[in-house]
Amino acid sequence: MRHGRYPFIIGFLAAPLILYVVFVISPYFQAFYIALTDWRGITATPEYTGFDNFARLFDDEVFWHAVRHHIVLLVAMPLLTIAIALFFSFLLNLGGGSKGGRMTGVTGSTFYRVVFFFPQVLAVAIVGVLFQAIYRPDESGVINGLLGKIGVQPIGWLTNPDLALWSIIAVMVWQAVGFYVVLFSAGMSAIPKDVFEAAALDGAGRFRMFFSITLPLLWDTLQVGWVYLGIAAFDGFALVQVLSVDRGGPDNATTVLPLEIWRNAFNFSKYGYASAMGVALFFMTITFAVLTLRVTRRERIEL
Amino acid sequence: MTHTDGSPGAITRRQMLRRIGLTALVAGPGAGLLNACATSGGGSAAPAASGSAAATSAANPLGVNPASPLEVVIFKGGLGDAYATDVHEPMYKKMYPQAEIKHVATQQIAQTLQPRFASGDVPDMISNAGADLMDEGALQAEGQLLDLTPLFDAPSIDDPSKKVRDTLLPGTVEAGYIAGKPYVLKYVTSTYGLWYDANLFKEKGWTPPKTFDEFKTFCETAKSAGIVPYAYAGKNASYYQYWMILISAAKIGGNEVLINIDNLADGAWTAEPVRQAAAAWAEIGPYMGKSFEGLIHTEVQTRQNQGKIAFYPSGSWLENEQKSNTPDTFAYAVAPTPSVTGTDKMPYEAIRVAPGENYIVPAQAKNPQGGLEYLRIMLSKEGAKGFTEKSGSFTVVVGATEGLTLSPGNQSVADAQKAAGQNIVTLSLFETWYKELETELRKQTNALMFGRIGADEFVEKMQAAADKTKNDSSITKQQRSA
């Protein structure tokens, strides 16, 4: 049997591994190589230019705008999403208090759980088009139409440079919350009931229960959520592309790196420079993931 | 890139790179390069200008052999091909009854013609248009295009005392230059200006302003009537606005201003005419209100159709584009951009009329004289008039719309062109030459029009962007003289 096992395993692993190498790993390596050339997408033999493209990044105002936006996204998007998702999943699972010795959610929580998941089901493009109508800057927009009814002047959600990025972050949060509600709900239901019961017997209120029991026992799930959201914060391409003024505007106020990569590659035919941006983005994402996992490492609570 | 045999990593990388390159070739602007490769097989043959030629005469200035067959390939797109089958081809047949005409209509010019260029069996006239058009620069470089100078120097069919080139809108011949010679006939024109509803203006007793002072007064009047005086779509069509700024700059300082910008000349953007044009338009911006920066062109165009906007900057395709949204009471009309100073080089009536839609004669055609003659027929008043009737678009032939029943918008374009005469604002070519500069211009145009920067900052930022393009060795530079 020993002899038959390896071909069997290899047979199963080979196909996905080859696909992964061809479509994920090899493009990465190519991007690293192309980043060192002045390739404009047409010639078969790009000129090797060393670190020219990377040097150019340092003087590129738009690149630094995009990096700053990723930092804002990185802090705001996961914080908001996790805070809201935690709040909702606590309400859905434990918010109803103890009934007959069991912790329950608020009334109708099974229904809410489905509703919260809806935005996750919608394709990003649809979300983009939807919010285009919601954010429209005159009275025909959903929000501004409502504001108009109470006599408030239309607000340029996406045209005011100070507001535009936050409007887009709000859409990202709106779309992500549902998934994390489900994720955290699953985490909470894995917490043994007797822990809550014991706490309830000792007279802990909902707040105390949330901060002293739910949160610490949910830490692993939170950490995973944070890494996922952080990586999502390095994207944002589709929403910015659809929603923002002049793709990344006004005045670069909403631009993100994937958008600039796309623009440089497919609009300006500067594949080499776009690849350099891609490599920079790759290192940012990796650094973030490693840092998050290191910093949030805690002693595991054995149950 | 070094070739390291035997190393599998290097081979995959090379192959992958080549594959990506090939995709880009097929999909993008590089399609012409592929043509060049495909055509190079038969490309060494000298142009077959002899053989079929006949002696020239006053009636036959290009020396067409009346018995030679003629093959015409037409791109059958938005303009259709009835203009060829019902107008130009019968005209040719009438002049040369012995000639047999073969008409080919296709939507895939490159796919249809590439193999034929490769084998040397090419048609005599091609309308090179559509998404799959052939790269004319590459064709010219391969010696596949016929120089159209004899056509432009030939006497016009309508008035033999005039050369063909003198019957066309100024700039038409130059617009078809490749490497300093006219290889391409650009036949169809688009007219740019401020579009409005003539009926609304009649009802309100308004007339289009002729100066920017009048424009500002008009803005106040329209505003008090509850109508947005002027608007464009900042979200995706800020280039409609920079067209207007550039047209104003050309009116102040002449077409040289735009030619300097295209040539990335030092200080082309900080030149006084550009600054004045930007300053004048920046004063109009506040009348629009901030919300238009977040709207797309269809939203703004629909609002104009609903009578909520007075002026909208666009080109003559607008009337056709909005057909399904335009109420019956709405009559499109175009007005030139107002004059900025009292000493503008071009009069108020000056307007941008840009030629497009390309027609070529292959150098290896069996009947190249016939191809040229066919183009001369297209450039006659009768040929041009027939084209406008069949396709609804205007041609580069001056005065060819007289006596035609036109849609309100087209009628207004004809009137505007007539009023403009020789005062035609040239098309900016940097828009396609230097995409990065163009992107920056879109950004800064919104910033200027929505009040985040002033005219001085606008021209300085654009000058910096132009200088950056100029100093970027990886960008191929282009030049134009007219």
- Dump pLDDT digits (tens) for A186-198: 888 888 888 878 8
Q: Can you tell me the mean pLDDT for A204-210? A: 79
Model pLDDT, residue B112: 87
Model pLDDT, residue B400: 85
Return the residue of B nearest to A23 by Cα: B16
Choices 3.40.630.30, 3.40.190.10, 2.60.40.770, 3.40.50.11610: CATH for B190-354+413-471 = 3.40.190.10
Task: Give the closest-approach CA distance of B134 to chain A in angstroms.
Answer: 16
Within a domain: residue A10?
no
Model pLDDT, residue A206: 76
Domain edges within chain B: 52-187+355-411, 190-354+413-471
Q: Is the Cα torsion angle B113, B117, B119, B123 positive or negative in sign?
A: positive
Q: Give the confidence band of A68 by pLDDT, cuts at 50, 70, 90.
A: very high
Alpha-carbon gap, residue A165 to A175, rounded angstroms: 16
Task: Give the closest-approach CA distance of A122 to chain B in angstroms.
Answer: 23
DSSP B25-64: HHHSTTHHHHHHHHHTTTTTSPP--SSS-----SS-TT--
Task: Quote the pTM value.
Answer: 0.79
Q: Which residues have a Cβ under 8 Å from the Cβ of B236 and sit 6 or more positions away?
A: A246, B296, B297
Q: Give the residues of chain B that fall short of pLDDT 50.
A: 1-51
Instruction: Report CB contact under 8 Å: A159, B12.
Output: no
Q: What is the pLDDT of residues A104-151, one digit of tens each?
A: 777 777 788 788 888 888 888 899 999 999 999 888 889 999 998 998
Neighbour count for residue B50 (Cβ, 10 Å): 8
Q: Is B286 on the interface with A (CB under 8 A)?
A: no
Q: How far is CA A47 from CA A27, A261, B26, in A?
A: 19, 20, 21
Residues of chain A with C-beta less than 8 angstroms from the C-beta of B291? 137-138, 154, 156, 159
Instruction: Report CB contact under 8 Å: B21, A41.
Output: yes
Model pLDDT, residue A108: 76
Q: Which residue of A42, A159, A250 is in closest CB contact with B30?
A: A42
Beta-bridged to residue B163, according to DSSP, are: B155
Neighbour count for residue B435 (Cβ, 10 Å): 17
Task: Give the closest-approach CA distance of A151 to chain B in angstroms.
Answer: 17
Model pLDDT, residue A214: 83
Alpha-carbon gap, residue A255 to B440, rounded angstroms: 14
**Which residue range is the domain that position A172 belongs to?**
51-295
Q: Which residue of B12, B294, B443 is in closest CB contact with A137?
A: B294
Instruction: Report CB contact under 8 Å: A156, B291.
Output: yes
Instruction: Report CB contact under 8 Å: B13, A263.
Output: no
Within a domain: residue A201?
yes
Q: Is B291 on the interface with A (CB under 8 A)?
A: yes
Alpha-carbon gap, residue B469 to A221, rounded angstroms: 49
Q: Is-contact B409 B318, C-beta < 8 A?
A: yes
Alpha-carbon gap, residue B147 to B134, rounded angstroms: 17
Q: Number of A to B CB contacts under 8 A, please give it.
A: 96
Return the CATH number at A255.
1.10.3720.10
Which DSSP state fits B99? -
Model pLDDT, residue B25: 37
Mean pLDDT for chain B overall: 85
Within a domain: residue A302?
no
3-state secondary structure A101-165: CEEECCCCHHHHHHHHHHHHHCCHHHHHHHHHHHHCCCCCCHHHHHHHHCCCCCCCCCCCCCCHH
Q: Which residues have a Cβ under 8 Å from the Cβ of A266 and sit 6 or more positions away?
A: none
Residues of chain A with C-beta less than 8 angstroms from the C-beta of B452? 161, 250-251
Within a domain: residue A157?
yes
Q: What is the pLDDT of residues A215-224, one digit of tens each?
A: 888 888 888 8
Q: Which residue of A136, A154, A251 is in closest CB contact with B447?
A: A251
Query: A-contacting residues of B 211-270, CB under 8 Å?
Result: 234-236, 238
Instruction: Report CB contact under 8 Å: A136, B236.
Output: no
Phi/psi for B371 (5° steps) reads -60, -45
Alpha-carbon gap, residue B5 to A303, rounded angstroms: 58
Task: Give the closest-approach CA distance of B248 to chain A in angstroms.
Answer: 23
Alpha-carbon gap, residue A261 to A279, rounded angstroms: 10
H helix runs in B306-366, sequence order = 318-321
Distance from chain centroid for Cα A196: 32
Q: How far is CA B109 from CA B28, B123, B144, in A?
A: 15, 12, 15
CB-count exposure of residue B349 (10 Å: 0-12, 13-18, 19+) = middle
Within a domain: residue A266?
yes
Which residue in A23, A25, A268 has the most chain B C-beta atoms within 10 A of its own C-beta, making it the best mutation to test that interface?
A: A268
Instruction: Report CB contact under 8 Å: A158, B294.
Output: yes
Q: Can you tell me the mean pLDDT for A244-248? A: 89
Model pLDDT, residue B421: 87
Alpha-carbon gap, residue B54 to B30, rounded angstroms: 39
Instruction: Report CB contact under 8 Å: B443, A252.
Output: yes
Measured N-to-C along each axis, helices B455-471 and B272-284 cross at an angle, to the nearest 10 degrees, of 130
Structure-token pair, residue A165 = 């990025």
Within a domain: residue A5?
no
Model pLDDT, residue B52: 59
Which residue in A18, A23, A138 has the most chain B C-beta atoms within 10 A of its own C-beta, making it the best mutation to test that interface?
A: A138
Q: What is the pLDDT of residues B349-374, one digit of tens each?
A: 999 998 888 999 999 999 999 999 99
Q: Which residue of B291, B293, B299 is in closest CB contact with A250?
A: B293
Q: Which helix (H) or strand (E) holds B195?
A: strand B185-197
- A99 vs B473, higher pLDDT: B473
CATH architecture of B52-187+355-411: 3-Layer(aba) Sandwich (3.40)
Q: Which residues have a Cβ under 8 Å from the Cβ of B402 and sit 6 or more positions away?
A: none
Number of domains in chain A: 1
Model pLDDT, residue A227: 86
Q: Can you tell me the mean pLDDT for A234-243? A: 90
Name residue A24's amino acid: V
Alpha-carbon gap, residue B413 to B417, rounded angstroms: 6
Which residue in B3, B290, B440 has the most chain A C-beta atoms within 10 A of its own C-beta, making it the best mutation to test that interface?
A: B290
Alpha-carbon gap, residue B142 to B132, rounded angstroms: 19
Longest dimension (CA), chain B: 82
Its ipTM equals 0.82
Task: Give the closest-approach CA distance of A168 to chain B in angstroms.
Answer: 14
Q: Give the confidence band of A44 by pLDDT, cuts at 50, 70, 90.
A: low
Within a domain: residue A2?
no
Model pLDDT, residue A96: 66
